[in-house]
């Protein structure tokens, strides 16, 4: 790209396609890495990325930076007249630069120096169609998206200093989306994120206590109980977690112990392309009269290093919408104390997701 960022095309056809568009924009240098500071009260890293304050915010369709660059039109991030799936470095990244420094987690103490927020943030455009929805993509396109996630997970995981790779999609202004074009993101963190660290702690305790694998045992428990199951395939099952935090929440897990998307075999990827879209369609039908429910689709993958054997790939899809026109706000208890309260029962959520099946 004009500022040196990498641009990768993933094509549906299964054969090489020549992409020779040239980015002629005058962008200057790519964004420098921000900084990370350790919260000594919690032991968690906080990234300071002040340059993101000026990022593009809800442009018109004519000015969308994720659409293809049309002849005589507004130049965009993709210097081609069309594309299937494209991945490129985020212009306003939370993490950037070569992730050659593994910051580790030093003993929390006041006065720790800032550390560079090294890592990578990528944008994944699922379609050149500005109005498309992931649930409406063709099966072949969804399979290309899965392949892109897997390839980027493998490459980023092999980058020195990267501790964890996170693929996700935010949809809807209620979530905080600033670009309406169908897209997701991939973060390559230089540390293991707080949620994953908490899961690893629980998984270690579970293994010591029972000899089992926590995430595998959770899936088997939900399959036996049945009351919170949403769908079951040959390679994947979806369920609402026992302690769901969100008014709409569903998890999707492979039947085989798999650390990340890159480790999925061909049959697992093929079925994933189907069940992933089916879950998103059910989320969209959850509330009568609501056409497009805002959601976050988050792929939890095993960390690259220590604790990898304790983690297991799974998808978490959830929405902040608790009723048509009403949002679930993270107010005093959730935001101030981290103590969650959910107004919806997991069993009711699961029943509704079964009811709206295709």
Q: What is the pLDDT of residue 307?
A: 96
| Residue 303, pLDDT score | 98
Active-site residue, 235 included: no
Per-residue CA distances from 331 to 9, 32, 328, 334 (Å)? 41, 34, 9, 6
Contact in structure between 169 and 134 (CB atoms under 8 Å): yes
The average pLDDT across 328-339 equals 96
pLDDT tens-place string over residues 136-189: 999 999 999 999 999 999 999 999 989 999 999 999 999 999 999 999 999 999
pLDDT, position 238: 98
DSSP 93: -
At 206 the pLDDT is: 98
Q: Give me the helices (H) in 250-319, please.
A: 266-284
Give percent of the chain above pLDDT 90.
Answer: 86
Separation of alpha carbons 131 and 151, rounded Å: 26
Question: Tell me, what's the pLDDT at 104?
Answer: 61
- Banded model confidence at residue 105, pLDDT cuts 50, 70, 90: low
Q: How far apart are the first and last CA of the chain?
A: 41
- pLDDT at residue 164, rounded to an integer: 97
The Cα–Cα gap between 138 and 280 comes to: 14
Residues 6+ apart with CB under 8 A from 109: 40
pLDDT, mean of residues 50-74: 88
Q: Which one of 181, 183, 235, 300 is the catalytic residue?
A: 183
pLDDT digits (tens, 9 = 90+) for 186-212: 999 999 999 999 999 999 999 999 999
**CA geometry: angle at 22 spanning 17 and 26, to 5°?**
155
Query: What one-character-per-residue DSSP string does 272-326 give?
Result: HHHHHHHHHHHHHTSSTT-SS--EEEEEE---SSTTGGG---EEEEEESEEETTE
Q: Which of 308, 197, 182, 299 is nearest to 257 (CA)?
A: 308
Residue 77, H or E segment: none
Query: What pLDDT, on the 0 to 100 scale, is given for residue 100?
Result: 57
Q: What is the pLDDT of residue 103?
A: 53
Burial class (CB in 10 A: 0-12, 13-18, 19+), 53: exposed
What span, in angstroms and rounded, lies between the C-alpha atoms of 215 and 219? 6
CA angle 310, 219, 348 (to 5 degrees): 135
Summarised one tens digit per residue, pLDDT across range 261-315 is: 999 999 999 999 999 999 999 999 999 999 999 999 999 999 999 999 999 999 9
Average of per-residue pLDDT values in the chain:
94
Write out the residue range of the structural domain in which residue 198 sits. 1-358
Q: Rounded distance, CA 83 to CA 346, Å?
A: 40
Q: What are 66-102's pLDDT values in tens digits?
A: 999 987 778 999 999 999 999 999 999 999 986 555 5
> Domain count of the chain?
1
Residue 29 has pLDDT above 90, yes or no: no
pLDDT for 44:
94
Residue pointed to by tokens 């992409």: 19
Distance (Å) of CA 90 to CA 156, 284, 354: 14, 28, 37
Task: Label residue 110 by pLDDT band (50, 70, 90).
Answer: confident
Among 159, 170, 163, 182, smallest CA distance to 64 is for 182
pLDDT at 345 over 60: yes
Q: Sign (positive/negative) of CA torsion 156, 165, 91, 37? A: negative
Whole-number Å distance between alpha carbons of 67 and 131? 10
234-275: per-residue pLDDT in tens? Answer: 999 999 999 999 999 999 999 999 999 999 999 999 999 999
Q: Domain with 143 in it: what CATH number?
A: 3.30.428.10
Q: Give the per-residue pLDDT at 349.
A: 98
């Amino acid at each position: 790209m004009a500022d040196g960022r990498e641009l990768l095309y993933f094509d549906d056809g299964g054969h090489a396609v020549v992409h020779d568009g040239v980015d002629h924009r005058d962008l200057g240098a790519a964004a420098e890495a921000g900084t990370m500071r350790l919260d000594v009260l919690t032991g968690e890293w906080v990234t300071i990325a002040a340059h993101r304050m000026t990022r593009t915010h809800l442009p018109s369709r004519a000015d969308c930076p994720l659409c293809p660059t049309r002849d005589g039109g507004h130049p965009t991030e993709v210097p081609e007249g069309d594309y299937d799936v494209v991945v490129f470095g985020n212009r306003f990244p939370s993490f950037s630069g070569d992730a050659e420094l593994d910051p580790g987690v030093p003993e929390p103490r006041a006065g720790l120096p800032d550390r560079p927020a090294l890592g990578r943030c990528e944008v994944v455009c699922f379609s050149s169609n500005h109005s498309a929805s992931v649930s409406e993509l063709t099966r072949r396109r969804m399979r290309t998206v899965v392949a892109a996630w897997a390839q980027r997970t493998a490459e980023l995981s092999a980058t020195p200093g990267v501790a964890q790779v996170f693929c996700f999609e935010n949809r809807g202004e209620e979530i905080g989306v600033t670009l309406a074009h169908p897209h997701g993101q991939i973060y390559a963190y230089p540390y293991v994120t707080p949620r994953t660290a908490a899961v690893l702690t629980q998984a270690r305790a579970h293994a010591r206590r029972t000899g089992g694998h926590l995430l595998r045992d959770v899936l088997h428990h939900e399959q036996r109980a049945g009351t919170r199951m949403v769908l079951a395939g040959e390679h994947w099952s979806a369920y609402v977690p026992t302690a769901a935090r969100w008014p709409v929440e569903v998890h999707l897990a492979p039947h085989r112990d798999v650390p990340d998307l890159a480790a999925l075999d061909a049959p697992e990827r093929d079925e994933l392309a189907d069940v992933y879209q089916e879950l998103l369609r059910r989320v969209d039908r959850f509330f009568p009269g609501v056409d497009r429910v805002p959601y976050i689709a988050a792929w939890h993958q095993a960390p690259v290093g220590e604790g990898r054997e304790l983690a297991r790939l799974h998808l978490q899809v959830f929405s902040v919408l608790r009723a048509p026109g009403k949002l679930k706000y993270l107010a005093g208890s959730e935001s101030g104390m981290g103590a969650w309260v959910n107004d919806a029962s997991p069993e009711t959520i699961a029943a509704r997701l079964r009811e709206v099946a295709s």
